[in-house]
A and B are shown apart, each in its own frame.
Chain A
Amino acid sequence: MEKQLILFLIVMLPVAGAFFLPVVGRFSEAVRNRLAFLLVAASFVLSLTLLPSVLNNQVITISQNLPLGFNFILTADALAVFMAMVSSFISAIIIVYSFTYISHYENRGEYYLMVVLFLGAMMGLVFSGSLILLYVFWEITGITSWRLIGFFREKQHVLRADKAFLMTVFGALLMLIGFIRLYVETGSFDLQVIKEAVKIHPLSGLTVALIMAGILSKSATLPLHTWLPDAGVAPSPVTALLHAAVLVKIGVYVFARLFVVTMPLDIPWMNVIAIIAAASALVSAGAALIDTDLKRIIAYSTISQIGFIFLGFTVSNEIGVAGSLLYILMHGLAKAGLFLCAGIIEQNTKTKDITKLGGLMYTMPVTALSFLFCSFSVMGIPPFGGFFAKYMVIAGTLQAGHLAIAFVFLFGAVLTILYLFRVFNMVFMGDVGSSSAKEGSPSMVFCVALFAVLSLLGGILISYPNNMIAIVIKQMITGSIPT
């Protein structure tokens, strides 16, 4: 009973608490900021308390049937708790960074409301045991991110926000049709029921394709990816939140939840998705080498790395799937760090154009070093955490016998090194461009340095995340992954 309460609170604290933030903000800004942090931190801490029991193979469920075949089901298994911990942890740091970043803009109340609500919806989505609940939370994340991308209210920004919203909702509606077809085919929205049902009746291809459209649009994967680079007009903590930690991981998480755990896809489907992921990784890496806008480049890099995560999930073997889970963690840490660095640079130099920047190594040493560390992690260079993720995904791919795809991704990894160093060299090395630039505020610099250090520690202390992932994998595999 108590565990179920915790599970309920993880989701409901941020979702309900978010609406109090603007009210509190009327009285005291400082209290509101701290409350926002506490709500998100509470989600993280509460997820942490669930950890021991889920690692002991317990599954915590809240289930309430509603009329008309709907139901409210929250399920906490190892995969969900892992995902919840990763997202709430990164979000909590991003909120600390927001304190100074957002302090001199309008509409701060709305900002905190949307960010915390977003995180709450993410928690709800992660723990959803029912497709309809999952869809509801999915759309809440879409609406909040629409408000956040257009946060600065400029005409161009609002258009970009609309574009992101329309593209993801387009995918989501297709996914909803897929869910309804699934309901017709299996008679339930309950994932457990569906899991049993699809063992007898295999899924129809159209259903899979419809659901995939939603997943690809949310995870910004080719051909539904172009909203993500455009969304870079958002405030930097938001781009970090959207791109790195949470939003784009929704798609891959739901992919793992539905198509790896609940209803494993056939090999041909997996191969198609691997090819889509490969194309996505290459196209966006190429674009990252050409674009000159700092945030757009990092966004393209995210699209490219999401390809690696998809790849690991499609190979249907232990090491590949484990690699993808680790990738979610390591990429989240490193990419959040990169975006927050970009935020400091943007705020202090008033430009995002890398051709106009240069020499910031000498004026912003901590930011520069953090950027470098996070880049190393994204490139997959040891001793940084990204190394293990990349190795495991590639090893899984080779184990599955996809030689050609593995080499496409290796080429993608080379491009990753090239574009990240292109950015690093143009922004931080060479001649000092805008001389007045100085280091960001202490709390902002602390946050980026924290992400950099965590990326490094993630590699050195690899045994901790990987031990946990091993258990997650065991739970996912019992009765799920075809051998």
Chain B
Amino acid sequence: MTENILIAMIVIPLIAGLLSLLLPKKGCGVFALLAAAVNFILAVSIFNKELNLTFPWAGFGMAFSLRLYQFSGFIMLAAAFFGLLISLYSLSFLKDKDYRRQFYAYLLISLSFVNGAVLANNLVVLLFFWEGLLVTLFGLIVIGGKQSFRTATKALVIVGLSDLCMMAGIALTGYLAGTLVISDIHLGLGSLGGLAFILMAIGAVSKAGAIPFHTWIPDAAVDAPLPFMALFPATLEKLLGIYLLARITLDMFKLDAGSPLSIVLMILGAITILIAVMMALVQKDYKKLLSYHAISQVGYMILGIGTCLPAGIAGGIFHMLNHAMYKCGLFLTGGAVEKSTGTTNLENLGGLRAKMPVTFICFFITAASISGVPPFNGFFSKELVYDAAMQRGWIFYLAAILGSFFTAASFLKLGHAAYFGKSRKENKDAKEVSVFMLIPMITLAAVCVIFGVFNYLPINNFIKPILGARAEGHNFTGSSVNMTLGIITVLVLLGAIIHHLMAAKIMGGGIKAAEHIHHAPVLSVVYRWAEKKYLDPYEVGVKFVKIISKLLWRIDRGIDWIYESLTPSAALFVSRTIRRMHTGYYAVYIAWSLVGALLIMLFIFR
């Protein structure tokens, strides 16, 4: 009986999602909130339990197999928590939107698929739900507006491509391991095993939004409804991506610190941190700036897990949780500003601190968390990652701490431009948003503080059990922070503040505090290319595919020419030649007959 609760975790949100499509527009928000609450209560009730369930499904080794244990329970709990907060937030945010029925339906179906993917104990079941999220992803972006289908398609193509890689990885893994049951797979990283790992890792890191699979996220920040940003790129996708990355590195494959793949992951993490944060720094839109940070922060998680050191893995997973908290909170403050002023363009914002004090405090806490200011939660997870990165090589640490500097700089710029300075006439009517929107923001900000000050709570309850035997003899809580690195962090943050204040003074205004970097020699060229999308792998890839397909089209037309032109003209040529032989002269025909007879004689009497 208790096993059936696993089915309920998948079926209840799914059916609720389908139902909310049928409900009247007024009631569907409340209904979705209730469904999300039920989902959350279920997730709480089975947290820390161990359950297994298997029944036959698609045959050929593809059994419908679910497994609840520490890690999956934790991810599911987190996803349900954010799902609940965002459906509460949307109640007010989407009040007058025509598409809200669809939004809630996709939200609930997504929660169902996330539960399914996390619970899956069979690789194909995992892939089924994982890839199924493409449909809701597409739907959630496309409802944003008449032009947002372009971004939706872009997202679907990028994520679809990486999901296909993951499909190949899963097929290969299943073949090498001889089973598709996840808990039975323990593979080495031989030549094929390494390939399988890379393919699976592509699926994982691209779901999390790492470079080069990230470029749809900033576009979606503009086109998609805001709660989508808080739900997908900020939380659910991070939870899933990092969950899978941790699963494949921790138990499905035995990745250890000596492996070259570990270095590949760390390099990917470091590059993701730096490139995305540099892009974030020069953004002039609230949501777009946040979206680049949603990419940049993934770098810390991948870097942490890629180190293959207990501190790094714990830091990476803890950072995933923290990131979901503060990034979700940040997006929600962005939504509050959008709702209240009608814009997220920083050039039209300013002085909101007085008009929206609660939003400002929530922004302040979450921004401090993402910048890694002690004692907020981001500080502790980042310190764990720094520590592990330092052990693997100073260059990785340098990338990480440099990323922190620019993160702090860009949030100082954002906060300065939006909440300080002079109030603009565009937003003179701005006032605090409704309580439904404030509650989720306050909750998230409060959790950021709690998980920071009392960081032993999440670390000992959530993170440590996931690492299992690897965590033995290690202490990841705040007291273990490497003092030297901690002091460097604080100094770097102070440096960022001083840098911001000076730059703002010289350039004139908070929003211009990063202009000197934007227009620095060399960098300015790179930025210009990036803004023209020359550096967008998707755009480049689509151009490449266009060229390839033109070539293939030529081949196709070439083959068709054989049938369309060559064959008829050959037939005409032959028949014309034969016709010319029919001259009408008896003598010629007799000559032909004689030649024919001669040939027959030769054939018979040879």
* A interface residues, Cβ below 8 angstroms from B: 163, 167, 222-223, 225-227, 282-287, 289-291, 318-319, 322, 376, 379, 381-383, 387-388, 390-392, 394-395, 398-399, 403, 406-407, 410, 413-415, 417-418, 421, 425, 429-430, 462-463, 466-467, 469-470
Query: In this assembly, does B193 line the interface, its C-beta being within 8 Å of a C-beta of chain A?
Result: no
Question: Beyond A383-B128, A462-B58, is A287–B175 a contact (Cβ under 8 Å)?
Answer: no
* B548 close to A414 (CB less than 8 A): no
Q: Do the beta carbons of A466 and B545 come within 8 Å of each other?
A: no
Residues from chain B with a CB closer than 8 A to the CB of A403 are: 195
**Segment with Cβ contacts to A, from B74-82, B161-169, B397-405, B575-583:** B161-169
For A286, the closest partner residue in chain B by CB is B552
Among A225, A286, A387, A390, the residue within 8 A (CB) of B553 is A286
Contact A287 B549 (CB under 8 A): yes
Interface bits B553-585 vs A (CB < 8 Å: 1, else 0): 101100110111000000000000000000000
Q: Are B60 and A429 in contact (CB under 8 A)?
A: no
Closest 4 CB pairs of A and B: A286-B552, A286-B549, A395-B171, A226-B560
* Distance in Å: Cβ of B160 to nearest Cβ of chain A: 5
**In the bound complex, how far is the Cα of B567 from the Cα of A223, in angstroms?**
14
B463 vs chain A, min Cβ distance (A): 31
Additional A-B contact list (20), CB under 8 Å, known A283-B556, A415-B549: A167-B563, A223-B559, A225-B559, A284-B552, A286-B549, A289-B549, A290-B549, A322-B59, A381-B135, A382-B132, A383-B128, A383-B135, A391-B124, A398-B172, A407-B168, A410-B165, A417-B157, A421-B156, A425-B153, A462-B57
Contact of A425 among B60, B150, B562 (CB under 8 A): B150
Is there an interface contact between B549 and A406, defined as CB atoms closer than 8 Å? no
A398 to B165, CA, bound (A): 13
Nearest CB to that of A362 among chain B residues?
A: B146
Interface-centre pick from B195, B550, B563 (highest chain A CB count, 10 A): B563
* Known A222-B559, A285-B549, A395-B175: A425·B149 in contact at CB below 8 Å: yes
How far, in angstroms, from A394 to B174 measured CA to CA in the complex? 12
| A387 x B128 contact (CB < 8 A) | yes
Instruction: Flag whether B473 is at the interface (Cβ < 8 A).
Output: no
Min CB distance, A166 to chain B, in Å?
Answer: 8
Contact A418 B167, CB 8 Å, known A284-B556, A286-B551: no
Complex contact A394–B549 (CB within 8 A): no
Q: Which of B142-200 contact A (CB under 8 A)?
A: 146, 149-150, 153, 156-157, 160-161, 164-165, 167-168, 170-172, 174-175, 195
**Chain B residues with CB below 8 A from A291, complex form:** 553
Contacts of B171 in A (CB 8 A): 391, 394-395, 398-399
Q: A425-B149, A466-B60 are in contact. Are A418 and B135 (CB under 8 A)?
A: no
In this complex, what residue of A is CB-closest to B172?
Answer: A398
- B546 in the interface, Cβ–Cβ < 8 Å? yes
A466 touches B553 (CB 8 A): no
- Report yes or no: B164 in contact with A413, Cβ–Cβ below 8 A: yes
Q: A286-B548, A382-B129, A463-B56 are in contact. Are A406 and B168 (CB under 8 A)?
A: yes
Contacts of B223 in A (CB 8 A): none
Question: Are B132 and A383 closer than 8 Å at their CB atoms?
Answer: yes
A290: nearest chain-B partner, CB-CB = B553
Complex Cα spacing A205 to B223, Å: 58
- On chain B, the residues within 8 Å of A391 by CB distance are 124, 127, 167, 170-171
Q: Determine the chain A residues whose CB is within 8 A of the CB of B168 once the complex forms.
A: 394, 398, 406-407, 410
B34 CB–A CB distance under 8 Å: no
Residues of A within 8 A of B542 (CB): 418
User: In whole angstroms, what is the CA distance A463 to B57 when docked?
Assistant: 5
Closest chain A CB from B552 CB (angstroms): 3
A-contacting residues, B22-65, CB 8 Å:
56-62
Q: Are A163 and B563 in contact (CB under 8 A)?
A: yes
- B552 adjacent to A381 (CB under 8 Å): no
Contact status B552-A390, CB under 8 Å: no
The CA of A317 and the CA of B127, in the complex, are separated in Å by 22
B328-356 near A? 1/0 per residue, CB < 8 Å: 00000000000000000000000000000
A381 engages B555 (CB within 8 Å): no
Q: How far is the CA of A460 from the CA of B153 in the complex (A)?
A: 24
- Docked complex Cα distance between A244 and B226 (Å): 41
Set B161, B552, B560: member contacting A285, Cβ < 8 A: B552
Let me know if B134 is at the binding interface, CB within 8 A: yes
Interface size on B, residues (CB 8 A): 49
15 contacts between A and B (CB under 8 A): A223-B562, A283-B555, A284-B556, A286-B548, A379-B160, A381-B132, A391-B167, A395-B175, A399-B175, A410-B168, A414-B164, A414-B545, A417-B161, A418-B157, A463-B58
Residue of chain B at shortest CB distance from A159: B564
Residue B131 is within 8 A (CB to CB) of chain A in the complex: yes
Q: Which residues of A contact B135 (CB under 8 A)?
A: 376, 381, 383
Pick the residue among B58, B545, B550 that contacts A415 (CB under 8 A): B545
Bound form: Cα–Cα A290–B548 in Å: 10
Q: Nearest Cβ in chain B — how far from A368, in angstroms? A: 11
For A318, the chain B residues whose CB sits under 8 A away are 60
B124 cross-chain contacts in A, Cβ below 8 A? 391
| Cβ-closest chain A residue relative to B157 | A417
A372 CB, nearest partner CB in chain B, Å: 9
Q: How many whole Å from A387's CB to the nearest CB in chain B?
A: 7
- Contact check, A394 vs B556: say whether CB atoms are below 8 A apart: no
Instruction: Report B430 CB to chain A, min CB distance, Å.
Output: 34
List A contacts of B146 (CB < 8 A): 430
Minimum CB–CB distance for B57 against chain A, Å: 5
Across-interface contacts of B560 in A (CB, < 8 A): 226
Taking CB atoms, residues of chain B closer than 8 Å to A395 are 171, 174-175
A417 to B62, CA, bound (A): 25
A392 to B61, CA, bound (A): 11
From B161, B171, B555, name the one whose CB has the most chain A CB atoms within 10 angstroms.
Answer: B171
CA–CA, A35 to B62, complex, Å? 42
Q: In the complex, A84→B555 CA distance in Å?
A: 35
Chain B nearest CB, measured from A476 CB (Å): 14
Give Cα A167–Cα B153 distance, bound, in whole angstroms.
38
> Chain A CB within 10 Å — which of B129, B165, B559 has the most?
B559
Query: Which of B57, B59, B129, B165 counts the most A-chain CB atoms under 10 A from its CB?
Result: B59
Q: How far is the CB of A270 from chain B (nearest CB, A)?
A: 18
Judging by beta carbons under 8 Å apart, are B157 and A421 in contact? yes
Contacts of B149 in A (CB 8 A): 425, 429-430
Q: Are B556 and A387 in contact (CB under 8 A)?
A: no
- Shortest beta-carbon distance from B118 to chain A in Å: 16
Report the minimal beta-carbon distance from A382 to chain B, rounded to whole angstroms.
4
Q: Which residues of A contact B165 (CB under 8 A)?
A: 410
B546 surroundings in chain A (CB, below 8 A): 289
In contact, A398 and B175 (Cβ under 8 angstroms): yes
Task: Check if B161 sits within 8 Å of A414, measured CB to CB.
Answer: yes
Residues of B within 8 A of A376 (CB): 135
Q: Which residue of B lies closest to A396 (CB)?
A: B171
**B556 contact from A226, A322, A392, A418, Cβ within 8 A:** A226
Q: Could you tell me if A421 and B164 are in contact, using CB atoms closer than 8 angstroms? A: no
Q: Is B134 in contact with A388, judged by CB distance below 8 angstroms?
A: no
Beta-carbon contact of B59 and A463 below 8 Å: yes
Chain A residues with CB under 8 Å of B175's CB are 395, 398-399
Contact B131 A381 (CB under 8 A): yes
Q: B564 — which chain A residues lie within 8 A by C-beta?
A: 163, 226
Give the contacts of B101-159 with A (CB-CB under 8 A): 124, 127-129, 131-132, 134-135, 146, 149-150, 153, 156-157
Pairwise interchain contact A382-B127, C-beta atoms closer than 8 A:
yes
A242 to B127 alpha-carbon distance, docked (Å): 33
**Contact residues in B for A413 (Cβ distance below 8 Å):** 164
Measured between alpha carbons, how far is A167 from B150 in the docked complex, in Å? 40
Whether A394 touches B60, Cβ cut-off 8 Å, given contacts A290-B549, A382-B132, is: no
Residue of A nearest to B109 (CB): A383
Minimum distance in angstroms from A283 CB to a CB of chain B = 5
State whether A322 touches B60 (Cβ < 8 A). yes
Tell me, rounded to whole Å, the shortest Cβ–Cβ distance linking A427 to chain B.
Answer: 12
Note all chain B residues with C-beta closer than 8 A to A418.
157, 542, 545
Q: How long is the Cα–Cα vector from A462 to B132 in the complex, in angstroms?
A: 15
Task: Output the least CB separation between A425 and chain B (Å).
Answer: 6
